[in-house]
A and B are shown apart, each in its own frame.
Chain A
Amino acid sequence: MMETQAAVEVPHGAPSVEPLVAIRNLVKFYVRGGQVIPVLTDINLDVYSGDFVALMGPSGSGKSTLLNLIAGIDKPSAGEIHVGGIDIAVLSEGDLAAWRATNVGFIFQFYNLMPVLSAFGNIELPLLLTNLSRRERRERVAIALSLVGLSDRQDHYPNELSGGQQQRVAIARALIADPTIIVADEPTGDLDRATAEEILVLLERLNRELGKTIVMVTHDPKTADKAHRLIHLEKGVLVD
């Protein structure tokens, strides 16, 4: 197995030397009209538990693709992705869906809330895949709402919330099932500077106080500053 670029040092926040996410020889390409289009080439990367990692790079560098592969919403063309000891690259679609439900929390650039559900309903969504009782779900949602400071907005629908509030609901939804890892794709991309700062402070808090492992894609250096570790990609390859 090739020595990984990130295997030399133990990053900030990592309680042990075993990485939470271990990527080995990862390759991703698409085939369009008979032509092979490479997206990621021979990626080797470790992310440790409690890490707050920012993936940076110009447009088309493959950072979102890498994030999608770590989150289990895309499959690599070759290589291994171990998350919490499980090689998710070999899981079936059904197993991958079940794995995501309990291991991954998503934060999207455009929030991706269900417009027909209230803040409460949106946050509760991932818990519908568990065996929790209605009362237990209610309690957890209440805690999550409190954590993101939106207890008084639980009955509001997405179109009644500001961008920042919607992203907070999305963050609460990402946390609700106590996932192994939180992936955030340009979480502040659609927010003004002040609101973006609030969201980043919240993410920092989740990482610092709750020990959540966060992998975040961003093209904004100010956003990336909040992370503890920066990983640069260019043309599908990790660079120093």
Chain B
Amino acid sequence: MHFALLVLRNAFRHKLRTLLTILGIVIAIASFGVLRTIVDAWYAGANASSSARLVTRSSVSLVFPLPITYAEKMRQVEGVKSVAWANWFGGVYVSERNFFPQFAISGASYLDMYPEYTLKPEERKAFLADRVGAVAGRKLADKFGWKVGDQIPLRGTIYPGTWNFTLRGIYEGRETATDESQFFFHFDYLNEFIKKKYPRRGDQAGVFIEELKDPEQASPVSLAIDATFRNSLAETLTETEKAFNLGFVAMSEAILLAIQAVSYVVIVIIMAVMANTMAMTARERYGEYATLKALGFRGGFVARLIFAESLGIALAGGALGIALTFPAVKAFSNLVGQILSAFYVTNETIRLQVACALVVGVVAAAVPAWRAARIRIVDGLRAIG
């Protein structure tokens, strides 16, 4: 009780210094949390990928489509349970700033392959029955205030013109990491347009998605699919969905590494600031520590006083920093829109924030505590007066 009282009162002896130090830690811990959340969000798509799905694309480039007829041959490959396909649409809703992923999908076969997109049965039925129907994720619908039945116009960029869709359903993600920012409509609707406008580009899919009978067979089935189309005009590259999504992440890997590095640099900086604060604080109190030792308190007691004060300040700043992370992430999420869909603070991030606060508190106090514990009483007493 006395120890705690001594620590608390000492910590706030210089209120301004302590409050500014705590503020620094709050900002550092919150920044660390936001930066880590950005990195997590970048990898979220890949991490949420199913191990039971493969993605097949043109071996030359994702830009080149593959014939729809490939679907039937893929179904016949040993280990493939079902096949679906999708085309990237890339339209604009009102303004270019309102970016969100839009896919023309193969209808029921696609929805069946993604059970994590939970759709009400009546909405699914309505979507499948409506050629111009569309389905949007909950996060996307909430952002624009869409309701089932609304008309959603998209300005085509790859496929010119104004495309009007009727929102027939809003899906919700089964897990927190499930992407709820996507917009789906019927591939057939898009294909009709392409066949009219660009006949030679009709009946082609951007990517195929294969569901596996046994997820353990991802590798041999991938090879078997690619072997099926080797030496054809459109050779394929098949990989797991996770690897496919990680491929996009890899394009930004340098940036992600830099962000991670910065997140830790911020912690190191505040550690140095805190260490300076504790060193200054301890130096100012050498006389008191010497007095305590003269009275019979051991060096270990003095060291514990300093450690406790440092940890108290660090953890107070850490707790506030963690609390601030949530609104900061929310604000950042509103800024970036749908670019990073699964943008939330993970438990892992919170654990790391706590760990960082602890490390800051311990490291900052280490040298001052060691010095104060070892101070010769007569030297410390000379510091008074």
Q: Which of A93, A112, A121, A129 contacts B291 (CB 8 A)?
A: A112
| CB within 8 Å of B: which A99-148 residues | 100-102, 104, 106, 108-110, 112, 114-117, 121, 124-126, 128-129
Is B295 on the interface with A (CB-CB < 8 A)? yes
**Contact B381 A112, beta carbon cutoff 8 Å:** yes
Is B13 on the interface with A (CB-CB < 8 A)? yes
| Interfacial chain A residues near B384, Cβ < 8 Å | 108, 110, 112
| Chain B window 265-305, contacts with chain A (Cβ cutoff 8 Å), 1 for yes, 0 for no | 00000000000000000000001100111111111000000
B1: nearest residue on chain A (CB-CB)? A134
Once the chains are docked, how many angstroms separate the CA of A97 from the CA of B296? Answer: 4
Which one of A54-62, A67-75, A195-203, A224-232 contacts B?
A67-75
Is A94 on the interface with B (CB-CB < 8 A)? yes
Is B2 on the interface with A (CB-CB < 8 A)? yes
Once the chains are docked, how many angstroms separate the CA of A71 from the CA of B295? Answer: 10
Q: Do A117 and B377 form a contact, CB below 8 Å, given A100-B294, A112-B288?
A: no
Is B115 on the interface with A (CB-CB < 8 A)? no
Q: Do A100 and B287 form a contact, CB below 8 Å, given A74-B377, A116-B10?
A: no
**Contact A112 B13, beta carbon cutoff 8 Å:** no
Least Cβ–Cβ distance between A79 and chain B, in angstroms: 17
Q: Which of A100, A117, A190 contacts B296 (CB 8 A)?
A: A100
Q: Which of B6, B296, B378, B385 contacts A101 (CB 8 A)?
A: B296
Q: Which of B2, B295, B378 contacts A100 (CB 8 A)?
A: B295
Once the chains are docked, how many angstroms separate the CA of A124 from the CA of B296? Answer: 13
**Contact B2 A114, beta carbon cutoff 8 Å:** no
**Contact B378 A126, beta carbon cutoff 8 Å:** no
Once the chains are docked, how many angstroms separate the CA of A125 from the CA of B376? Answer: 20
Is B9 on the interface with A (CB-CB < 8 A)? yes
Once the chains are docked, how many angstroms separate the CA of A125 from the CA of B13? Answer: 19
Q: Do A117 and B6 form a contact, CB below 8 Å, given A71-B294, A98-B296, A112-B291?
A: yes
Least Cβ–Cβ distance between A159 and chain B, in angstroms: 11
B-side interface residues, number (CB < 8 Å): 23
| Interfacial chain A residues near B376, Cβ < 8 Å | 74
Once the chains are docked, how many angstroms separate the CA of A140 from the CA of B292? Answer: 20
| Interfacial chain A residues near B10, Cβ < 8 Å | 116
A-side interface residues, number (CB < 8 Å): 29
Least Cβ–Cβ distance between B46 and chain A, in angstroms: 53
Q: Do A125 and B295 form a contact, CB below 8 Å, given A109-B385, A110-B384?
A: yes
| Interfacial chain B residues near A94, Cβ < 8 Å | 298
Q: Do A108 and B6 form a contact, CB below 8 Å, given A97-B297, A100-B295, A125-B295?
A: no
**Contact B298 A108, beta carbon cutoff 8 Å:** no
Q: Do A97 and B385 form a contact, CB below 8 Å, given A108-B291, A114-B288, A128-B2?
A: no
Least Cβ–Cβ distance between A60 and chain B, in angstroms: 14
| Interfacial chain A residues near B293, Cβ < 8 Å | 73, 97
Q: Do A129 and B297 form a contact, CB below 8 Å, given A68-B378, A112-B291?
A: yes
**Contact B294 A74, beta carbon cutoff 8 Å:** no
| CB within 8 Å of A: which B1-35 residues | 2, 5-6, 9-10, 13
Once the chains are docked, how many angstroms separate the CA of A116 from the CA of B291? Answer: 14
Least Cβ–Cβ distance between B347 and chain A, in angstroms: 38
Q: Which of A74, A93, A121 contacts B378 (CB 8 A)?
A: A74
Once the chains are docked, how many angstroms separate the CA of A102 from the CA of B287? Answer: 21
B9: nearest residue on chain A (CB-CB)? A116
Instruction: Report which residue of B13, B293, B294 has the largest number of chain A beta carbons within 10 angstroms of its beta carbon.
Output: B294
| Interfacial chain B residues near A100, Cβ < 8 Å | 294-296
B8: nearest residue on chain A (CB-CB)? A116
| Interfacial chain B residues near A121, Cβ < 8 Å | 2, 5
17 residue pairs from A and B, CB less than 8 Å apart: A74-B378, A93-B299, A94-B298, A97-B298, A98-B296, A100-B294, A100-B295, A109-B385, A114-B291, A114-B292, A116-B13, A117-B6, A121-B2, A124-B2, A125-B292, A126-B295, A173-B295
Which B residues fall within an 8 A CB radius of A? 2, 5-6, 9-10, 13, 287-288, 291-299, 376-378, 381, 384-385
Q: Nearest 10 A-B pairs (CB), nearest first?
A: A101-B296, A116-B9, A73-B377, A112-B291, A110-B385, A100-B296, A110-B384, A129-B296, A74-B378, A73-B294
Which A residues fall within an 8 A CB radius of B? 68, 71, 73-74, 93-94, 97-98, 100-102, 104, 106, 108-110, 112, 114-117, 121, 124-126, 128-129, 173, 190
Given A73-B381, A104-B294, 14 more pairs with CB closer than 8 A: A68-B378, A73-B294, A97-B293, A100-B295, A101-B296, A109-B385, A112-B288, A112-B291, A114-B288, A115-B13, A115-B288, A116-B9, A125-B292, A129-B297
